[in-house]
Structure 1
Amino acid sequence: MPRGKGYRRSQAAKRRVAERRTVDVEPQQGTGYRHAVRKWPISSLTGRSHKLVVPVESPDKKFVLVVGDSHLRAIADGFVKMPEGGLSFGVMSTPGAAAVDLRTEVLNAVVPRTPDAVCLLAPSNNLTASRTVGEAGADFARLLASVCSRWQTVFVLDFPPRLNIEVGQQELLRQEFHRVAARMGVKYCYVAEHFPLNRLELWSRDGVHLSDSEGMEVLVQLLWIFAYQQLETPAPTPVVPPRASPPRFSPKVVVKGEVSVPRPPPNPFEWTLVGRGRKKPKVEQQKKPPASKRRLAEKQVEACVAGVCPKPARARAVKVAVKEEVGGGVFEAISGQCCESGCEGGGFRYATHTKIRQRSELS
């Protein structure tokens, strides 16, 4: 049955760890030099050597307090100097202390100055003091919570690798510490990649502590860089969720001033002359009657106008309603009652200009 993707990823991770591993179960010794250990006061709380060093206050420098185990002994005793700059470093070192011992010292420490930032060196002594990685992670979580309860700005510096313990075990503890710090929102700074295991001059002969001339120089440089980044890097700007846009409404158009009168319905008795390229205005006219009725109406109206009405008893004037020139003559629409019999003189007539002049002379 073919293996799944998860199995292949697991095998690839094991191969990567095996490639990076240069130390097996057999311990190795470093070739670097480390100063002779000086005698420190014994703490009544933990029964271990303990030392707190606070530098003189400088108004133009920010104060960083470093809390850790015996890796800080060379700094506390002055054998290794911190880099110069805008930062001043204090040290609280407890050699041989695991996470539980460091927590006790932190809760009871009397620090004369409030540090601008606190660097907690991850306790590498839990590699031997804790029975399981989970137990070490729980102790480290309580330690980190205690440090954060006393000071506001806190970050964690990874512990330097050891030559006398298998690399895989150190990597598991390192990952556990990182998970705890990430869960609590504290930055965890890795340093293991800066200490290649094939450079034995970085460690002293015990294979645990770093050498003063080579290994500690690398550690203090990393410590200064991470502290500077922690203090000088501005806090990330909180992401503001986009504001919900209000519902959109269709605009209502309000017209002020003159209100256009709607066009009346078309009149069936109106007609429109349309020329090429434009539309001529409408002309009100009656519907043109058939040719036979038009000729009859013209004869009757002409007789009335000339005074020769068939029934001239009560002849009345004929009113011309519409007159329009069409072609070479005049088209007239007339209306009115011309005689007592009630004959309607309304109708249409068409005459040339010659006939109109003759009619005007007769009248």
Structure 2
Amino acid sequence: MHTLTVQTPSHAYPIYIGRDLLDNAHELLKPHLGKKAAIITNETVAPFYLQKVQTALDRAGVPHFSIILPDGEEHKNWQTLNLIFDGLMANRAERKTTLIALGGGVIGDMVGFAAATYQRGAPFIQIPTTLLSQVDSSVGGKTAINHPLGKNMIGAFYQPQAVLADLSTLHTLPPRELSAGMAEVVKYGILGDDGFFAWLEQNMADLMAQAPEKLAQAVYHCCKMKAEIVAADETEQGIRAWLNLGHTFGHAIEAEMGYGVWLHGEAVAAGCVLAGRLSEQLGKTTAGDTARIAALMQAAKLPTEPPRFPFKQWLAHMSHDKKVEGGIMRFIGLDRLGKANITEITDTEILRRTLQPYL
């Protein structure tokens, strides 16, 4: 097992990374639990792992109850959030009841937001069960739900008490979900570590086959990078925005197609290629750099081209992006492969040229 510490102005907390961690979860989680716990998961994950977490809480001597939600990005909304609040109130959860998010990024984001707002703040723990959530969304305290006009537009920065990433849970992950998570892994190499990007180029086949040591190395490296970025910029006033590489384009794809039609990681993959094309248009990177990004995404069985829809729709979605300031769109681009930047775009013709092959 590897342990990392995320140090933020709010508080420090550990990330536990390893195999079969749920079998010893009572020991790992007990220091972070209150006197009562609520396990919140979805109907897909529950049959696999709910009993393991229930057993861990029993062994830790912590009374608990469970809330099982519908599965899918299309349920990341107020209605499903209210199901969490209904369950908490029906079971007389108190301010110190620990909420446990057992599932992927959708569960983690919603449970984190519920924890941030229930009785003005309850503690929560992340147990991510997808690659995407293990390397990205479970770490750093960004919580949210979607709005029909924009993804993750309603939420809060709220840090967990601990993150337990059991790599064994990835064995029950459908291949499409594994690929979606790999998009976020590749993203880290593109935005901040060209050496890691090159390592991914050499090892992607093994990673897709879930070679244990290499997969653990990739998850650890991504979590370490994110922990360092979050420690330096908890509430995304500067470099933490780099973690949104590919997301402005990606969120537009998700909103236009309907949440859940494209998986988040699939949209991010195409978005990262578009970010490379945008950086080309700005004279920062080369067509060869973009080709390398696309080739690595393809090796992870990910889409590298967005769906076709009108440019006015792209602009409508991207104008709702959280990085917009003073009405000016801000994109995460590249100074070079392995070094991200924040770019203000005032000339939408640059975006049109970037997107032209897909309009």
Per the normalisation by structure 2, the TM-score is: 0.27
Specify which structure has the higher proportion of helix: 2
Larger Rg: 1
Per the normalisation by structure 1, the TM-score is: 0.27
